[in-house]
Amino acid sequence: MSNTLGVDGYRLEQAMARLQLIYTKPAHPYYIAAPDYRETSSGVCTLHYLCHALNLSGREAYICGGKVVNPELKTPLLDQATADRHIASGKVPITVYPEVTSGNPLSGKVVARYLLNVEGFLTGRAMEEEPDDLLFYYDARIAAKKGVSVADLLCFPIIDISLFNAPDPSVPRQGHYLYQNRHPLDQVDYASLPAGIRLLSVANPLSLVELAKVLRSAEVLYSYEWSMTCAIAVLCGCPVIFMAGHSVDQVFLDGIFFGRQGFALSDETDALEVARAGVQGALQRYVAVTEPFWQQLDVFIEKTQAAAQQQALADKQGMLAWLEQRCPEEPQRAALMQRLASGRAPMLGVLVLGSDDADQALMRTLESLAPDQCLYRHLQVVTLGAATPASDVPGLSVHHRPCQAAQRSEVINRVVADSGCDWFMVVEAGVEFTPGGLLLVALELVNAADACVAAYADEAMRMGNGSLGISLRPDLNLDLLLSLPASVSPHWLLRSSEFLAQGGFDTGCGQAFELEYQLRLVEQRGLSGIEHISEPLLVSEALRFADCASEREVVGRHLKARGYAQAHVDSHLPGHYRLDYGHADQPMVSIVILLDGALEQFQRCIEALLQHTDYPCYEVLLLDPGSDEPQVRQWLQGIEQIGGDQLRVLSFAQGQCPALLRNDAGRLARGEYLLWLDATAAPIAKGWLQQLLNHAQRPEVAAVGAKLLSMNGRIHHAGLVLGLRGPVGRVFAGYAHSDSGYMQRLTVDQNYSALSGECLMVRRDLFVEAGGFDEAPALARWMDVDLCLRLRQAGYLNVWTPHAQLLIDRPAMADASVEEEDALYARWLPVLAHDPAYNRHLSLAHAGGFKVASLQSTWQPPQGQREMPVLVVHPLDQGELGYSRVVRPFNGLKAAGYIDGRVSPGLTPLVELERLAADVVVFQGGLDAPRLEVMRRIQAFSRAFTVLELSDYLPDLPVGSARREGLGEDVFHSLQQALGCVDRLVVPTAALAQAFAGLHGDIRVVETRLSIDAWRHIRGQRRTAGRPRLGWVGSSEQASDLEVIAPVIKALTADVEWVFFGFCPNSLRPYVHEYHEGVEVQQYPQKLAGLNLDLALVPLQQTLFNVCRGNQRQLEFGACAVPVICSDIGQEQDDLPVSRVHNSYEHWIEAIGLHLANLDAAQRRGDELRDAVHRCWMLDEDHLQRWRSAWLPA
């Protein structure tokens, strides 16, 4: 076809696409995590070719991780300069991981996961994806195994058809081959294979050219497993026989991405002939099935770029949305108001410091306090400045006190004395209060102990690029307050009575009058009287660090007040203070090194110690755990001969635990201070030991840790955060050594709950008093953490300092075992969940920490202030099963004000659950190992009430069901494990409850009902086609049920229009008039109604699984007013007006014929069914109460 330009439509479309490609901007780059290129792995090739295809499509893509690329592809390696350029230009990299990658090792903000195989199939590990990760699947079979019916596919045409194609059929073939990769060679049954068969093994790979030569001439390829090599063989005209009884079965063959032709199972009749007959046309089928790739790639680019752009906007504006989410919702708000009304709502004074040229900023502050913006009403607002506000703010009473900048502290003292406020705070003009901030603060202050004399909250900040940042502060962190006052000191709420008793602000402290008062409180009240309220209270300007003489003077005066007469405060960066406590003593330090590693590491450690340690009073104790390496023994003998008193070797018998060795060394050491040092660590500058002693000699400090850098110059240790990615994790791990960290925390001294034992200084008497390191084997991994927590529990501080820096050559530890993690959870779980050095709004899942937990998280009241129980529910999937049995009941109960909590698409780790203080945890469905482990831990360590929701009789799951993946071979044993870990079981039918009877003592039945909002107002059209439209809806899990009516479908194909939705086996495709892919669950009701069916069929095999299942499909059809014929099994005779038939060809044909013979009567039957569903089967208030009773403890 041509147009008025004389160019045919195809050429015009191609020309337009190429024009668009010329002007395509790379936008956000792609970082593709891939190993070295090798043509023997189709998975590795796919990742490299994806990078190539993206670059050919005008995008910017790089390979990360691998060092070897195919020089014929456009696959550049990512370097640091390129990554820095992306950051500087505001680009958000899109990190692409294959399914074999667990977690987010590249710390990508936008993550796309490309499942080339079933998750865990190759590695046995889960991907540990985040809820907002984008998932793309190589084929629909892999998506189905993940439980996803509507998936984004990316079927990359990785086979080079110019190389792998069939020769002319007349060319003779010879040779039988066996493909072998993961199937063990010693388990190959050669007796069942042709004599003289030759092996094609990945262990001895052929080049692609060699492989093509073999397969283009081979007679047949046998295999115990699926591989892309099998597809290549069929394209080369070589039939493939899979050995029956192993990983490939009939269901698998039906799901092969370009059809099952050319393949057969060894136990089929005439298997070789069946497979040989199917190889013809393989190339055309492959081209047809991969033809959508370019459209799929467009979708991949569109979705990943949209996510990156959304992240870029979130970096600029997303914090605003998060702040809005922190405002209590309406049911919560009413409860809070009632709580405040029942007590005495505190009067809060807000003192706003104005200036001569800040009238607009002043009005912005006042407007944020107006009744239409601020939820808290008990306010006294006073402006302090040379001029009164230019205009009034409706509904807000504002008092003005004239004040010059130099008089502020004096005037504030008088205002507070005259005000009668319970609490007050001082803010600058331009600060904006969040709508719910003062309300939440007031609620906390009402519940605060009388000993609480000051409090501070979190803050948002206006950044220079127009975005909002967030300062999520730790609980009171003395060393951070002293070292970086600007990050902690601003905007405290002060109890007025204490303020007046203390004499108010010191009027001789210049700009630092608030800091002086705060430190005075610390001196007189200690740290316990100052509370941190972990909610964003206001929005201020971004921190501007500046050297302030009055701040230095105030900090120095504070140190002298605490007894450090020779203390000195220096400013190494603007506003960043380096405190020298001026200790006069030079106590002995015992540096204790357990020799764990290689000799060259030990030598480097000792040489660096001797070279860079200019502190005079120290000894080095080398702990020999019984090494039998001759070179190490010889080196130690030399050390003993020349070391003298300063360098000693302590030898121990082999096999003793490290904690025991260290404890013995602690008793034998002569030093007042013990420094536990890793044998691969080495100081890099003089003065390092003095920096550790600077803090260790403070009486309030127990342990001190250093900044450890890995050999590539990146952060190895900068403090430990409890609960981070498990029991405990390293913050800022992998950051560049020059990075300042979140809120400058890599640059200054601060307190952490725990520090690494790789460089840990402890006062010897405190070490002995605490009992030393715990020698329990299960705690060996955590002995440093456990010691630090015991010292902190005793009332001491643990200090991390960046001013002592060492290199360390210690590789990352292997993942902790279940037993090791359990040991720390058993002892410290409540502490692990609430690390005072962290903030509860910071993620525990993000590698390195210090990332906001979720921009979608809503406010929930603290545990002691709850009006409603808090539930955390884990749906099995994001499909209809998860929504109907978990998500919709949860949302309905929450909207009605009966419960609070959240839906968690992924499994919530134990520490996170403890952090949430969930009252109830609901699990749905799967009995996979990770889910069972989480359930076990909750039962063992948590107080939460646990509920298991099971919708099906899992031991009888249909063959081929995606839900079988991960259940293990003994499903019944897994079921018993799960039921042993929960307090209650909830099922949808009495039959299922009966099937589980005896396995659990508390089983509740709650039928599945339809959502009123989703299903009440839909209806399909009738008789829209020339022939009646008959429909079936289901997934591959119902393939065996569909076989019940397969002959009926074939017999009636000329009389009706068959409409399939969700799944259609290849064998029935020729008989089906319309096939519709599955859709997102939110679109499902409208899509179902839009099929405009005249009759729906719900066939079910006579199995225990089906007997126990509910009637949800009939309800859905009924809501659309579609009459239903179903198998006469299960559903407990629910009185729905549907036609039930026996599973025979004659009964189905007869029932369908009766409906088709009188479509008017069938239509009335559909209306009756719709009325019955609306009357008795909707998720109404009564049914919500049943869910409430089923989920909550008695």
pLDDT at residue 966, as a whole number:
63
CA distances from 1025 to 649, 1032, 1073 (A): 93, 17, 11
* 1114-1161 residue pLDDT tens: 999 999 999 999 999 865 657 899 999 999 999 999 999 999 999 999
- Characterize 658-669 residue by residue with b for buried, 16 or more Cβ atoms within 10 angstroms of its Cβ, and e for exposed: bbebbbebbeeb
pLDDT at residue 601, as a whole number:
96
* 114 has a pLDDT exceeding 80: yes
**3 state DSSP class of 1037:** helix
CA end-to-end distance (rounded Å), the chain: 73
Task: Let me know if the fold of 331-567 is the same as that of 589-832.
Answer: yes
User: Which CATH entry fits the domain spanning 331-567: 2.60.120.10, 2.40.160.40, 3.90.550.10, 1.10.760.10?
Assistant: 3.90.550.10
What is the pLDDT averaged over residues 371-397? 91
**3 state DSSP class of 995:** helix
Contact present, 152 and 114 (Cβ < 8 Å): no
Q: Residue 772: name the closest of 787, 754, 793, 760 by CA.
A: 787
**3 state DSSP class of 29:** coil
What is the pLDDT averaged over residues 874-882? 86
Cβ atoms within 10 Å, residue 649: 17
pLDDT at residue 735, as a whole number:
87
Which amino acid, one-letter code, is at 173? R
* 337-349 residue pLDDT tens: 877 877 689 999 9
pLDDT at residue 317, as a whole number:
62
**3 state DSSP class of 1038:** helix
Cβ atoms within 10 Å, residue 199: 12
The domain limits of the chain are 9-153, 176-279, 331-567, 589-832, 868-1005, 1012-1178
* 451 has a pLDDT exceeding 70: yes
Q: Which of 359-368, 1003-1012, 1017-1026 has the highest mean pLDDT?
A: 1003-1012
Q: Residue 233: name the closest of 191, 276, 186 by CA.
A: 276
- Characterize 903-942 residue by residue with b for buried, 16 or more Cβ atoms within 10 angstroms of its Cβ, and e for exposed: bbeebbbbbbbbbbbbbbbbbbbbbbbebbbbbbbbeebb
| Residue 908 DSSP class | P
* 2 has a pLDDT exceeding 50: no
Q: Residue 909: name the closest of 827, 992, 825 by CA.
A: 825
Mean of the per-residue pLDDT values for the chain? 92
Q: Residue 888: name the closest of 935, 940, 838, 924 by CA.
A: 924
Q: Phi, psi (5° rounding) for residue 539?
A: -120, 125
- CATH class of the domain defined by 868-1005: alpha beta
* 9 has a pLDDT exceeding 80: no
User: Which CATH entry fits the domain spanning 1012-1178: 3.40.50.2000, 1.10.10.10, 3.40.640.10, 3.30.1490.20?
Assistant: 3.40.50.2000
What is the pLDDT averaged over residues 854-878? 79
Contact present, 141 and 185 (Cβ < 8 Å): no
Architecture of domain 176-279: 3-Layer(aba) Sandwich (3.40)
* 1008-1021 residue pLDDT tens: 999 999 999 999 89
- CATH class of the domain defined by 589-832: alpha beta
pLDDT at residue 728, as a whole number:
98
pLDDT at residue 1, as a whole number:
44
* 1074-1120 residue pLDDT tens: 999 988 888 999 999 999 999 999 999 999 999 999 999 999 999 99
* Residues 733, 730: Cα–Cα separation, whole Å: 6
